[in-house]
Amino acid sequence: MYLRRLAASTRGFARPASSRAYATANGFTGAIGNTPLIRLRSLSEETGCNILGKAEFQNPGGSVKDRAALYVIRDAEEKGSLKPGGTVVEGTAGNTGIGLAHVCRSKGYKCVIYMPNTQSPEKIDLLRMLGADVRPVPAVAFENPENYNHQARRYAESIPNAVWTNQFDNTANTRAHYETTGPEIWSQTNGAVDGFVCSTGTGGTLAGVARYLREQAEKEGKKVENWLADPPGSVLYSYISSGGKLTERSGGSITEGIGQGRVTDNLGTEIGNISGALHIPDERSIEMLYRLLDEEGLYLGASSSLNVVAAVDLAKKLGPGKTIVTILCDGAYRYQTRLFSRAWLRSKGLENAIPQNLQKYIVLE
């Protein structure tokens, strides 16, 4: 029924484009969530499945991490560890910081962000423009006491009325997706979702959505497969595929905000229920990023295009007629000086991963 309705909705003018106005949102935080689920037409046709992307770039702070930012701050307020005029401190590769900076402005908190100094200049500038105190620090492993997360925790402990929101291991992050993203996907597909796949940074999105979809499907006697997608340099693909062996982290990826060297508490809440993992090389992610722009008009960051590659792979595994959902985490705006620069692509050995007909989009030197 749902598939029939989807098919009808894609047939020319069969269904007039209706304007869905939501009720008025109460401030910035009220506008977080309720994002559209976009059917990716060419990939759906190619696979014979419905490939659906949750348009998280439409959140008011521009990424999926607005949801986690709201929930970790709310959690601190509810526990009484954050009082009016207080300070929110976080270690973040960028998007959580941007979400936190917005939520802090709207609620009157100060915001201090520790981040690895390898992150794109666009994200650092934006955080500063949003009034955050940004502290870029050398990118060192989690085991090192100078890792950005440990520095964030120590700073929060050293000043009064401050909280380290601890996005990686604070399961209020997973709860955001269990209570909002998961239910939205279920209702937007009328419960007709066969597979869900996404990459992980903290693991909050995958854990929360996967748990909700699995529980809901079980209640209705259905089955949803939840898969993890992993970039190069992350240990989770081999961890899941080997049945729990943690290897040393090696290599890197052009994707930002995803890939892990450990199993976070957020991911740990769901890891036993993940059906499998897919390793996605950067060559495929960057090609898909350009294809999504060319074929769908979507201007997305590399974690989103990696997710879409994984959704296509999962569609091929599950077979035609299935509905596969993934996350479109953020837009390319935060990375455009890299992703659309020929010199940068060449420096990463990725210039030739972009097909000839899509090279016209490489407009920056």
Question: Could you give the residue numbers annotated as active site?
Answer: 65
Interface pick for ligand PLP out of 35, 49, 55, 65 (rule CB under 6 A): 65
Q: What's the closest the beta carbon of residue 349 comes to ligand PLP, in angstroms?
A: 22
Nearer to ligand PLP, 86 or 195 (CB): 195
Residues 325-364 that bind ligand PLP (CB under 6 A): 329-330
Who's near 251: CB < 8 A, 6+ residues apart? 232, 233
Instruction: To the nearest 10°, report the CA torsion of 108, 146, 120, 158.
Output: 10
Query: 305-314 burial string, b = 16+ CB within 10 Å, else e?
Result: bbbbbbbbbb
Q: Is 259 in the site for ligand PLP (CB under 6 A)?
A: no
Amino acid letter, 87: T
Q: Is 200 in the site for ligand PLP (CB under 6 A)?
A: yes
Cα–Cα separations (whole angstroms), residue 202 to 64, 172, 269? 12, 12, 12
Q: Where are the beta strands (DSSP E) in the chain?
A: 37-39, 50-55, 87-91, 110-116, 133-137, 162-164, 195-199, 225-230, 276-279, 323-328
Stretch that binds ligand PLP, among 137-145, 232-240, 250-258, 357-365 (CB under 6 A): 250-258
Stretch that binds ligand PLP, among 57-65, 214-222, 227-235, 353-361 (CB under 6 A): 57-65
Total chain residues near ligand PLP (CB under 6 A): 21
Rg for the chain (alpha carbons), in Å? 20
Who's near 309: CB < 8 A, 6+ residues apart? 229, 280, 284, 285, 288
Q: What's the closest the beta carbon of residue 205 comes to ligand PLP, in angstroms?
A: 3
What is the number of the residue whose Cβ is closest to ligand PLP? 257
Nearer to ligand PLP, 86 or 147 (CB): 147
Interface pick for ligand PLP out of 182, 231, 301, 331 (rule CB under 6 A): 301
The answer to whether 62 and 304 are in contact (CB under 8 A) is: no
Alpha-carbon gap, residue 120 to 333, rounded angstroms: 11
Q: What's the closest the beta carbon of residue 98 comes to ligand PLP, in angstroms?
A: 9
Place of tokens 């979400």: 99
Alpha-carbon gap, residue 305 to 54, rounded angstroms: 12
Amino acid letter, 229: A
Amino acid letter, 200: T
The answer to whether 35 and 184 are in contact (CB under 8 A) is: yes
Nearer to ligand PLP, 120 or 188 (CB): 120
Residue 364's beta-bridge partner residues?
Answer: 341
Stretch that binds ligand PLP, among 44-52, 71-79, 126-134, 193-201 (CB under 6 A): 193-201
Interface pick for ligand PLP out of 60, 203, 259, 331 (rule CB under 6 A): 203
Q: What's the closest the beta carbon of residue 220 comes to ligand PLP, in angstroms?
A: 26
Report DSSP state, residue 294.
I
Q: Is 181 in the site for ligand PLP (CB under 6 A)?
A: no
Stretch that binds ligand PLP, among 9-17, 26-34, 92-100, 148-156 (CB under 6 A): 92-100
Stretch that binds ligand PLP, among 44-52, 188-196, 202-210, 357-365 (CB under 6 A): 202-210
Q: Is 201 in the site for ligand PLP (CB under 6 A)?
A: yes
Nearer to ligand PLP, 282 or 330 (CB): 330
Q: What's the closest the beta carbon of residue 94 comes to ligand PLP, in angstroms?
A: 6
- For ligand PLP, the binding residues (CB under 6 A) are 63-65, 93-96, 199-205, 256-258, 301, 303, 329-330
